[in-house]
Structure 1
Amino acid sequence: MKYRQLTKEQFESLHKEFAHFLASQSIDVKEWNQIKKEKPAVAEEEMNVFSDVVWDDVLNKTQYVEHFSKTSANLFKCADEEIHRIAIKVTWDIDLLEQKGFEWLMQNPMDNSVEIFRGTKPYHSERNKEIFDLIEKGSNISKGEIYEYFNNLIS
């Protein structure tokens, strides 16, 4: 398995897609229920393969991810060959996880208590695996507005 199996909730939300996936392998509902009952390892493997297909599709489309903590933000732009990072640290007592703190940062990005760093590095392994690792560590896929805001500000 390349990534991790989708959660029960994710499988439920992708019920139709999973049914199409099984149908593409000539497995109907009756046969699927039989496989789950009599060959749980085979059922598990089908679920793993489907999970990898879904994750690859999502990660191929991912261009930005971001991770916020109480006093810092890490914003990533995921290019094909390298990943760009803008790291923001606030050095006074503010909570960027709260709306008030986030709004303060967006209105005061050049305040003396805000430190901004930028870097770029090539992927060490496969692009999608590195993005997946960021997501597993708490990052969220984003549209990139915050990254681009700070990128324009410090360019």
Structure 2
Amino acid sequence: MKYRQLTKEQFESLHQEFARFLASQNIDATEWKQIKEEKPNVAEDEMNVFSDVVWDDVLDKTKYLEHFSKTSANLFKCENEEIHRIAIQVNWDINLLEQEGFEWLLKNPMDNSVEVFRGTKPYNQSDRNAELFDLIEKGSAISKGEIYEYFNQLIS
């Protein structure tokens, strides 16, 4: 397995897609029920393959990630060959996880208590999706990139 299996909730929300996936392998609903009961390992393998297909599709489309903690933010722009990062550190008692703290940062990005760093690097394993998946598993969320682009314009 390349990534991790989708959660039960994710499988439920992708029910139609999973049914089409099984159909593409000539497995109908009756046969799927039988496989789950009699060959749970085969069922698990099918679910793993489907999960990898879904994750690859999602990661292929991912252009931005962001990760916030109480006093820092890491904003990523994910291009094909390299990843760009803007790291923001707030050096006073503020909570960026709360609306008030986040809004303060957006209104005061050049405050003396705010440090902004920027970097670019090629993907480590030359496997872009594996690296993005690792960032998601460590708490990053896929975003539309508005915050990244806002800070990118400020520091350019």
TM-score bracket, shorter-length normalisation = over 0.9
Partner in structure 2 of residue 121 of structure 1: 121
Matched, 1:132 2:133: yes
SS of 1:153's equivalent in the other structure is: helix
Kindly state the Cα deviation for residue 96 of structure 1 after the two structures are TM-superposed.
Answer: 0.1
SS of 1:31's equivalent in the other structure is: helix
Matched, 1:58 2:96: no
Partner in structure 1 of residue 78 of structure 2: 78
Partner in structure 2 of residue 69 of structure 1: 69
Partner in structure 1 of residue 3 of structure 2: 3
Partner in structure 2 of residue 46 of structure 1: 46
| Post-superposition CA distance 1:128-154 (Å, at most 9, x none) | 000000000000000000000000000
- CA distance in structure 1 between the partners assigned to 2:64 and 2:131 by the alignment: 12
- CA distance in structure 2 between the partners assigned to 1:56 and 1:89 by the alignment: 32
Partner in structure 1 of residue 92 of structure 2: 92
- CA distance in structure 1 between the partners assigned to 2:2 and 2:134 by the alignment: 11
- CA distance in structure 1 between the partners assigned to 2:2 and 2:59 by the alignment: 12
Q: What amino acid is aligned across from residue 137 of structure 1 in structure 2? A: K
Kindly state the Cα deviation for residue 70 of structure 1 after the two structures are TM-superposed.
Answer: 0.1
SS of 1:119's equivalent in the other structure is: strand
Q: Which residues of 2 match residues 96-115 of structure 1 at below 5 A?
A: 96-115=96-115
Q: What amino acid is aligned across from residue 146 of structure 1 in structure 2? A: I
Partner in structure 2 of residue 15 of structure 1: 15
| Post-superposition CA distance 1:8-43 (Å, at most 9, x none) | 000000000000000000100000000000000000
Aligned length in residues: 155
Unmatched tracts of structure 2, length 5 or more? none
SS of 1:49's equivalent in the other structure is: helix
Percent sequence identity over aligned pairs? 82
Q: What amino acid is aligned across from residue 17 of structure 2 in structure 1? A: E
- CA distance in structure 2 between the partners assigned to 1:122 and 1:16 by the alignment: 37
State TM-score, norm by structure 1: 1.00
Unmatched tracts of structure 1, length 5 or more? none
Q: What amino acid is aligned across from residue 155 of structure 2 in structure 1? A: I
